[in-house]
């Protein structure tokens, strides 16, 4: 069973679109996606420095576009996913791979998502911090005592907490037993109640979008559930902006359905590390450049069901 996985914000790298722009087919896809955003996506992904593409408004559509062209290339090379998932903004790529949303609608909404989340960040100074080590119970207890919440659960020893900057500073100074805390370089407390204004904005925009029944399931960040109803997938992605990413539950689902292989899409690498620690039996392939797809045209990555990619 082959799963396509799309990474989230923070995975972006300067120049990550350059190899794809040299590929005629991928460039054509990117030029179409570029029409739906208010900045030069191709320039951002090929020449802009790290600081510029760290901006939430830029990072989210850039990551989505790079993951999607990698998905198209992987499928063209013979990899046929039986399910898809994505970490945070990566869910939007997964929804297109599954056929629940069109690429045009998805990138339009992702671009709006980046703007709405950036604007929510400007309302009050909040942030995120990674808590590495310690028990989940201890981390949750200490975080709550500091007025913080879990924003991202990647499994044992890999939690991200979010909330006001002052409380994050206190947590860093007095970490949970056996844990170390590191501030993340993000604009605000993503996947917490601080993002509620963005949810309201996105819900209005999403009401104009037509969804489709997914041809393969999407494993949800909310609870790891397998979803195929396009409207449900869209609604949950909107709500997920202010809810914690339960990647631990997504991995539980991958284990329960017997996933044997995964393709992590560009900018790939971060999710493979998590999978190796939690599900080492899953063979993971990275697709960061067009030539990476050459390793995908093998029998164990071919399935009886074709991916329903809506281009």
Positions marked catalytic: 88, 191
SS (H, E, C) 208-240: CCCCCCCCCCEECCCCCCEECCHHHHHHHHHHH
Asked if residues 214 and 99 have their Cβ atoms less than 8 Å apart, the reply is yes
Residues 6+ apart with CB under 8 A from 209: 101, 105, 109, 234
Question: With contact defined as beta carbons under 8 Å apart, do 20 and 290 qualify?
Answer: yes
Q: Write out the two tokens for 288.
A: 């960061």
Q: Write the Ramachandran bin of 133: left for phi over 0, alpha for psi from -120 to 50, otherwise beta.
A: left
Tokens encoding 165: 């900057």
What is the C-alpha radius of gyration for the chain, rounded to an integer number of angstroms? 18
Residues 66/16, Cβ–Cβ less than 8 Å: yes
């Amino acid at each position: 069973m082959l799963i396509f996985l799309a990474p989230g914000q923070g995975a972006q790298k300067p120049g990550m679109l350059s190899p794809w722009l040299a590929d005629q087919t991928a460039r054509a896809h990117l030029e179409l996606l570029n029409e739906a955003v208010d900045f030069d996506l191709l320039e951002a992904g090929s020449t802009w420095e790290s600081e510029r593409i760290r901006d939430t408004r830029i990072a989210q559509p850039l990551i989505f576009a790079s993951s999607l062209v990698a998905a198209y290339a992987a499928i063209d090379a013979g990899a046929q996913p039986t399910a898809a998932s994505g970490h945070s903004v990566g869910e939007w790529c997964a929804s297109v791979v599954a056929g629940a949303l069109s690429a045009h609608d998805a990138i339009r909404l992702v671009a709006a998502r980046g703007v709405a989340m950036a604007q929510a960040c400007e309302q009050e100074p909040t942030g995120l911090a990674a808590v590495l080590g310690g028990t989940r119970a201890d981390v949750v207890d200490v975080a709550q005592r500091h007025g913080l919440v879990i924003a991202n659960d990647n499994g044992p020893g890999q939690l991200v907490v979010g909330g006001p900057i002052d409380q994050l500073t206190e947590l860093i100074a007095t970490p949970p037993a056996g844990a170390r805390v590191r501030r993340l370089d993000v604009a605000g407390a993503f996947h917490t109640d601080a993002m509620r204004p963005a949810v309201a904005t996105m819900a209005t925009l999403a009401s104009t979008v037509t969804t489709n029944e997914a041809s393969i399931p999407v494993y949800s960040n909310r609870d790891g559930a397998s979803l195929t109803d396009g409207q449900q997938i869209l609604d949950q992605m909107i709500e997920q902006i202010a809810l914690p990413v339960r990647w631990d539950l997504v991995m539980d689902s991958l284990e329960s359905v017997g996933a044997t292989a995964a393709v992590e899409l560009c900018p790939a690498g971060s999710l493979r590390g998590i999978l190796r620690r939690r599900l080492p039996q899953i063979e993971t392939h990275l697709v960061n450049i067009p030539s990476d797809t050459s390793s995908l045209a093998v029998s164990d990555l071919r399935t009886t069901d074709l991916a329903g990619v809506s281009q």
